[in-house]
Chains A and B, each alone.
Chain A
């Protein structure tokens, strides 16, 4: 079945450590996105990518990094520079062009700093 897979579902990190969240899609989508969601809040865009080896900063990119070495994969690294990383992280993908370009989401990763 086609879809987006995020792993792990839950992640605990010690302060000062980097951690990488995985996002893989087999929908042959061009665009991929990372969002952060805090409790009771909306989705804020961290990074997005249209094609391999290209990505753009979203609204809250500081303290995060990404790579897009393969079309199917868009991992997000939460670095030690991110001051308040505890949140729910959602990865999404969509077609780039075409009339209907709704995004499909993974199940999310809950990151907790301990």
Chain B
């Protein structure tokens, strides 16, 4: 069974500082994808970044980077130079990949990030 754990219900960061949001996962699938989403108070889900389990390098997308440690089964999101607009709920998610695998997309419970001016 797949499981995503986000141990930080809430995080605070000062504007312009970096912040790390934790995510650990558990799966028996040999190939999988890891995703981070942002959910502002409006409710929409915004895709931020993707990491494949066989990718050699950590993913980066602008101010977002994913600190992927496969042996530790962790996929932490790093946001550099935080902005007030980064205040939102952040979700880590995982999906098996590869032919014949199931395609269940599982989410963690989320971390509420508040950026202080």
Contacts and interface: CB of A to CB of B under 8 A. Distances in A.
A113 to B, nearest CB: 19
Contacts of A43: 91, 107
B105 interface: yes
Interface residues on chain B, size class: 20 to 34
B47 interface: yes
B11 interface: no
A100 B49 CA distance: 10
Contact of B43 (A42, A44, A88): A88
Interface string B77-106: 000000000000001010101010011111
Given A42-B91, A42-B109, A42-B110, A102 B103 contact: no
Secondary structure dominating the interface of B: loop
Interface string A78-95: 000000000010101010
A97 B101 CA distance: 9
B35 A103 contact: yes
Interface in A56-109: 56, 58, 88, 90, 92, 94, 96-97, 99-105, 107-108
Contacts of B43: 88, 107-108, 110
Interface of A: 31, 33, 35, 40-45, 48, 50, 56, 58, 88, 90, 92, 94, 96-97, 99-105, 107-108, 110
Query: Which 10 A-B residue pairs are closest in the complex by CB-CB distance?
Result: A42-B109, A105-B45, A43-B107, A102-B47, A42-B110, A108-B43, A31-B103, A42-B107, A100-B50, A102-B50
Interface of B: 6, 33, 35, 43-45, 47, 50, 52, 91, 93, 95, 97, 99, 102-110, 112
27 contacts: A31-B105, A41-B109, A42-B91, A42-B108, A42-B109, A42-B110, A43-B91, A44-B107, A45-B105, A45-B107, A50-B103, A58-B104, A90-B45, A92-B45, A92-B105, A96-B103, A99-B52, A99-B97, A100-B50, A101-B33, A102-B35, A102-B47, A102-B50, A103-B35, A105-B44, A107-B44, A108-B43
